[in-house]
Structure 1
Amino acid sequence: MRKIAPVERQMMRKEYVKQLVHVVRTQGFLSLTIQDIAKTMNLSRASLYNYFSSKEDIIMELTNLCIDYINEAGKTISNEELSYPLRFQKVFEQAVFSAVYASDLYLTDLKTSCIHLYEKKMHSRKEQLSAIHTFYRNGMKAEVFNQLNPSILIIQDETVLGKLVNTAFLVQEELSLKQALLDYYVAKKTQVLKPEYLQNTENEDIHAMVENILNKLAAI
């Protein structure tokens, strides 16, 4: 087999662990064997070891993928050169991906078996929450957002989006993920944005924003 260049190897590691997101979110990872993981990645067990040294190495890459996305989204949310309504969309997107990447099952397994990764993930989460709290508070001071409790807004996203990314729930409620995200986003921005700023966003392409989220989800 040809030698894999370090840059290509790292890129492929990220692509392969993306294929584990749904399984790990819905089943956790403690019960998964290396053979299970290789099958999900559509690799032979031997080929898997060309990219990963162990099961813990795979979980580390998956955790870092989640943290990297959160950190990247956080840069946009904290960019004061961008409008509050635009950054509000990024908060929404980040909340969707947090629901996908960090299910309770995954976090429980991480805490049980990889405490150092769990602590790294929780530190990232703490920074994420601090950035979102600051964003909401500043938006309220600027009189763009209604006076609401940021903690409640965050819990609301975690609860609702945790349900919406659950395929069984969508089937039960006869909803598509696209329509569910569209409806929730409209409800959320109506709740958060003051009326005058809602009027200024009438021409925004909400469908394009949700399609962008769905395309990113399809890639994992």
Structure 2
Amino acid sequence: MQQSTFPSRPLILGSTSRYRRELLERLRIPFETAAPHVDETPQPGETPRDLALRLAAAKAQAVAQQFPGAVVIGSDQVADLNGKPLGKPEIHERAVAQLKEMRGHAIVFHTAVSVVCLETGFSAIDVAPVHVRFRDLSDDEIERYLRAEQPYDCAGSAKSEGLGISLLDAIDSDDPTSLIGLPLIRTCRMLRAAGLVLP
């Protein structure tokens, strides 16, 4: 008898990000989304990697408190420029400043994922680093890119799945969807451990 690909428990993505929703849809399993409502302010002395891990865990836990019988995914991404965290720019001027800081440099994008289920006591967390090398961008290139792509909801203003790929010299990662916002290899591993059948 063939096993069902449908989860025995509800699956909830604790995120309002359309990028994460689109990535999770690749797995062809039903899920709902819920906003985690977590303060994303970095703590004093917190590294970008630790910030990503803390926020991923906090988002998963916040949504799991509302749905204790569900398997909940929380995720967060923080760009790391020599230890300085770069989040979503939200506005054009901040995006310009981010890209000017990053041009000609290697950046690490830390994308953390946490999967929890309160009823079963399941909890797992991991982080997928992506090393990205930016070209030495001119001011005009930065302006043209931002006006065309408007990536103001992307950490570090770099939307690699779109026009942002033209800004880069190289990408190095063992979990290729991590840069877009959800490391699916790690997520699949955790969901299987939580009891879901994939594929």
TM class, shorter-length: under 0.3
Greater strand proportion: 2
Q: When the two structures are superposed, what TM-score results if normalisation uses the length of structure 2?
A: 0.24
Q: Which structure's CA Rg is the greater one?
A: 1
Greater helix proportion: 1
Q: When the two structures are superposed, what TM-score results if normalisation uses the length of structure 1?
A: 0.23
